[in-house]
Chain A
Amino acid sequence: MFQATRLSRRKRYSEVVAQTIFLAMTLMMVLPLVFIVAYLFYEAWPILSWEFLSTVPKHGMRAGGIWSPLLGTLYLVVISLAVATPIGVLAAVFLNEYARETWFTRIINLAVVNLAGVPSIVHALFGLGAFVLFAHLGKSILAASLTLAIMTLPVIIASTKEALASVPMAFREACWNVGATRWQTIWHVVLPNSISGILTGVILQVSRAAGETAPIMFTGAVFYKAIPEGKLFAYGLFDQCMALSMHLFTISTQVPDLPKALPYGTAVVLLGVVLIVNAMAIVLRVHLRSRKKW
């Protein structure tokens, strides 16, 4: 009764083939990543040290560390997200919780989605025109951060909206039914239950802000800037700064006779910053999910 027929044998065979193909595709995706990371570390190994992180570049950037670009990247990321997060989250709350569906909100939603897909070089040009020239901020950390904020804003709005929409409608209705205002509903029920998704979306933008080169190249990042070592507030808001992504580009392409380990070291630090932040996002999400209440 349960003997293998020709049909069942063929089914089993195709099952095996399908599984093999899927596995191969997965490996094809993972292997290059593993290879890249391993290779970066291998090349950068001789130079990686605390000193590499904490000293400024020396001898026309052929020696020394990467303190100034590292600090510059931190500035840019922190300031841009400090600007983009409140605006983005509040805009998403408005769009998802308050706005009725009209042609106007439909246009806004469409704009948000499309802005998220605009190439960063276009944002860069916009930042140059709007902040550096029109607002007279000059090429500065502030102008570069604002440009990065404009770039990350639509993605933050989109991810926050998604997080808010994942809170079941029935919760809101239950709150309205007992006489809670919209704001009370949002503050006491909607936000606490979507905060993990909101934070994840924001944190993922850190890696984008840290990695993009074009927007800051136009608006505030420079080839070289001398700053004192070991001082956390070495840059002012209206100073120009160095940044890891830009630094990697300049030393790899503009500096002759460069020790080979230097660009790899820079890349590892940039990757490290991004990975640490992403890991934080994962830990945070797991932590907040475990408190999820339905």
Chain B
Amino acid sequence: MSDSKVEFVDLRVRYGRREALKGVTFDVRHHEILGIIGPAQSGKTTLLKTINRTIENVPGAVVAGTVRVDGEDVRQARDLFGLRRKIGMVAPLPVGLPLSIFDNVAFAPRMAGIRDRHDLERRVESCLRQAALWDEVKDRLSSLGTKLSGGQQQRLTIARALSHDPEVLCLDEFSIAIDPVTTMRIEDVLRELRSKMTIILVTNLVQQARRLADRTAFLFNGELAEIDATEVIFSDRPASRKTYEYVNGIFG
């Protein structure tokens, strides 16, 4: 087994003529929280989509280079849906599926073939607890997920991402639609989850990366400007001048 959970090797992605990623190479270690920061259009979301190959559903996207999860090239994966279940993915805007709260969280286990009611109930409760949502919704699990507030829906999305026991949890600007208090609660949750899984945290809030991440990568314009321990990135002398300017709000 390699030391890296996820590896990107010379990863390039084009959307038609526009290059979103221009040859990115780095790795994500087991049980770390890796923060990925960078201005808009720097390819952060694209990067996440290559891990579970949902990039293939984007019209016009062309991928070159290699992404490995547990040392295995994702494009060689024999069971694509098994691969996707290994990766938990949380989108920037909360998406409650138009199903009940229970069914939202039970969706992935059900699609994987789990039918046993007790098993499903146990999973739903544990995921909702981990996402810090259980106490608010335990009495109305049969009401619609889409009727929850934005912050609650985002935690529902996280619960759903946890429902298939992922080994890697990718969060794409999860706090964009929720209030600071809820954000702090989820950040606490992430710190706890680190013992169980590897977390990739894409964020526009550089301070969030500073609070949570063990290491931080700075993506700029489709290229990896720098990756290092978070203390180094946020110190006075990161390797790249651009990094310093970005985290200190001088540009971007």
Contact = CB atoms under 8 A, between A and B. Distances in A.
Interface of A: 100-101, 170-181, 184, 188-189, 192-193, 292-294
A169 to B, nearest CB: 9
B27 to A, nearest CB: 22
Nearest to B105: A178
A179 B57 CA distance: 13
Given A170-B91, A181-B81, 4 more contacts: A174-B97, A174-B160, A178-B89, A188-B107
Contacts of B215: none
B111 A293 contact: no
A72 to B, nearest CB: 42
Ranked 7 nearest A-B pairs via Cβ: A293-B98, A178-B108, A179-B85, A177-B89, A179-B84, A294-B146, A179-B81
Contact of A180 (B81, B93, B95, B144): B81
12 contacts: A170-B95, A173-B95, A174-B97, A176-B84, A177-B89, A177-B161, A178-B164, A179-B81, A179-B84, A179-B112, A189-B97, A293-B99
B54 interface: yes
Contacts of B95: 170-171, 173-174
Contact of B111 (A101, A179, A292): A179
A184 B91 CA distance: 20
Given A171-B98, A189-B97, A294-B98, A178 B91 contact: no
Contacts of A292: 98
Nearest to B53: A176
A179 B163 CA distance: 11
A178 B161 contact: yes
B97 A175 contact: yes
A135 to B, nearest CB: 39
Interface in B25-67: 52, 54, 57, 59
Interface in B191-247: none
A171 B93 CA distance: 11
Interface of B: 52, 54, 57, 59, 81-85, 87-89, 91, 93, 95-99, 107-108, 111-112, 144, 146, 157, 160-161, 163-164
A221 B144 CA distance: 51
Contacts of A178: 84-85, 89, 107-108, 111, 160-161, 163-164
B91 A174 contact: yes
Most chain B CB within 10 A, of A174, A175, A294, is at: A174
A75 B211 CA distance: 70
Interface residues of A, dominant DSSP: helix
B43 to A, nearest CB: 18
A179 B160 CA distance: 11
Nearest to A169: B57
A100 B98 CA distance: 26
B209 to A, nearest CB: 22
Contacts of B163: 178
Most chain A CB within 10 A, of B83, B85, B97, is at: B97
A184 B84 CA distance: 14
Most chain B CB within 10 A, of A100, A172, A175, A179, is at: A179
A170 B92 CA distance: 10
A177 B82 CA distance: 11
Nearest to A181: B81
A170 B88 CA distance: 16
A173 B45 CA distance: 13
A180 B106 CA distance: 12
Contacts of B97: 171, 174-175, 189
Contacts of A175: 97, 107, 111
Contacts of B52: 176-177
Most chain B CB within 10 A, of A173, A175, A177, A292, is at: A177
Contacts of B91: 170, 173-174, 177
Contact of B82 (A179, A180, A189): A179
B54 A173 contact: yes
A174 B94 CA distance: 10
B20 to A, nearest CB: 17
A180 B98 contact: no
A200 B98 CA distance: 21
A283 to B, nearest CB: 22
A173 to B, nearest CB: 7
B59 A293 contact: no
